Amino acid sequence: MLAIPTTESISPEWFTALLRGRGLPVTVSGFDARRIGTGQIGKCVRYTLQYSESAAPAAQEASAAPLSLIVKYPSDDPTSRATGVMLNNFLKEVRFYQRLQQRLTVRTPLCYFAEIVDAGPQFAVVMEDLAPAEQGDQLAGCDARLAQAAVLELVGLHAPGWCDRSLLDESWLYNPDPDAGSALREMYRAQLPGFLQRYGHALEADERDIIARVGQAAQAPLYAGLPDIFSLVHVDYRLDNLLLHDPGGSAPVRVTVVDWQSISLGAPLNDVAYFLGAGMLPAARAAAEEDIVRRYHSALLAAGVTDFSWPDCWTAYRRGVFAGFGVTVVASMLVQQTERGDQMFTAMARRHARHALDLNGAEFLV
């Protein structure tokens, strides 16, 4: 078995062994490395590979050897690494590629290597490079065309494991502890004062109020356990975690989903509400969301999901407006603070709060 590489230890010889292990008769003679992405817990590096003369170009093409690969490592920041271990982020990322990827139809990168020691932080995932696809921009947001493509891609994650109780056997995937919701509530409450001190000045009064009310509530969708209708959920399904290939015109946007470090079992509409709430500006989201959610619901039924009515779907979507509050309030205070991170968490806080206000989510807070 190949050793788990670091940015310091990875070498042409390591890549050669990796590719030969997959039946590709090539020799990597060198590479160029460049940091990419905006991850908070992990870091991604693009390696542009150089092959020995005997492997390039004809033999390389014949063997389908990649021109470049993406390697994901733990963050350099000690706080972010500790958070990744505590929340099982690194373990979930690796186990997704090892155990779940092949059973789903959601578009994901081809994985060449995924290994971890215990729960981390020592791990690495090697994936295909999907350039020229571009990472979505959480700050800029997206239009309804892109949002629809992203939401419909979720059907390939949700439908294959719809209410599949065998997934509960994957202990790394979901914590069945009945006190887990209470623990999340206490974590939210603990981080709330610092969050409001750091970001509150950028929020409207009613936005600050609804964020605070989630912390005050004894019961809220954010703290709910596994619902009767559940599926695999990405949890952090937002533009920064999507790679987008847009051919333009009337052709659909091709969406590839990355960053599986939070995958769990939960309410499927949480992913939908999280994406639309964080990814679209409020006015654009309000104008398009019902149509997009209806298309998602129709696609679920076409994929074989039964006994899930449109009224139930819409109610679940409205409850899902709180799905982003935990990432916004808790994660923002547990990872390395950066300028872009502050901009992202501010945008998410404003958009998720406005989403909850627009859909009267407060009725679900007890």
Give me the DSSP letters along 334-350.
HS---HHHHHHHHHHHH
d(CA 16, CA 224): 47
pLDDT digits (tens, 9 = 90+) for 187-226: 999 999 999 999 999 999 999 999 999 999 989 999 999 9
What average pLDDT does this structure show over 256-274?
96
**Confidence at residue 38, expressed as pLDDT on a 0 to 100 scale:** 65
Query: Please, are residues 102 and 156 in contact by the beta-carbon 8 Å criterion?
Result: no
**Confidence at residue 102, expressed as pLDDT on a 0 to 100 scale:** 95
Domain 134-364 classification at class level: alpha beta
Q: What rounded mean pLDDT belongs to the chain?
A: 93
Strands (E), the chain: 28-36, 42-51, 68-74, 111-116, 123-128, 134-135, 231-233, 242-245, 254-257, 264-266
The CATH label, of 2.60.120, 2.30.30, 3.30.200, 3.10.20, for the domain at 12-128 is 3.30.200
Q: How confident is the model at residue 266 (pLDDT cuts 50, 70, 90)?
A: very high
Q: How confident is the model at residue 143 (pLDDT cuts 50, 70, 90)?
A: very high
d(CA 255, CA 107): 7
Strands (E), 84-223: 111-116, 123-128, 134-135
Q: How confident is the model at residue 335 (pLDDT cuts 50, 70, 90)?
A: confident
User: Which residue type sits at 308?
Assistant: F
Tokens read off for 87? 């929340």
**Confidence at residue 54, expressed as pLDDT on a 0 to 100 scale:** 60
Q: How confident is the model at residue 175 (pLDDT cuts 50, 70, 90)?
A: confident
Q: How confident is the model at residue 238 (pLDDT cuts 50, 70, 90)?
A: very high
Count Cα neighbours of 101 within 13 Å in the Cβ-side half-sphere: 21
Residue range(s) occupied by CATH 3.90.1200 in the chain: 134-364
**Whether the predicted model's global pTM rises above the 0.85 cut:** yes
**Confidence at residue 60, expressed as pLDDT on a 0 to 100 scale:** 45
d(CA 120, CA 297): 37
Q: How confident is the model at residue 363 (pLDDT cuts 50, 70, 90)?
A: very high
pLDDT digits (tens, 9 = 90+) for 46-66: 999 999 976 455 554 546 899
**Confidence at residue 144, expressed as pLDDT on a 0 to 100 scale:** 95
Measured in degrees and rounded to the nearest 5, phi and psi for residue 272 equal -65, -50
Residue range(s) occupied by CATH 3.30.200 in the chain: 12-128
**Confidence at residue 361, expressed as pLDDT on a 0 to 100 scale:** 96
**Confidence at residue 213, expressed as pLDDT on a 0 to 100 scale:** 96
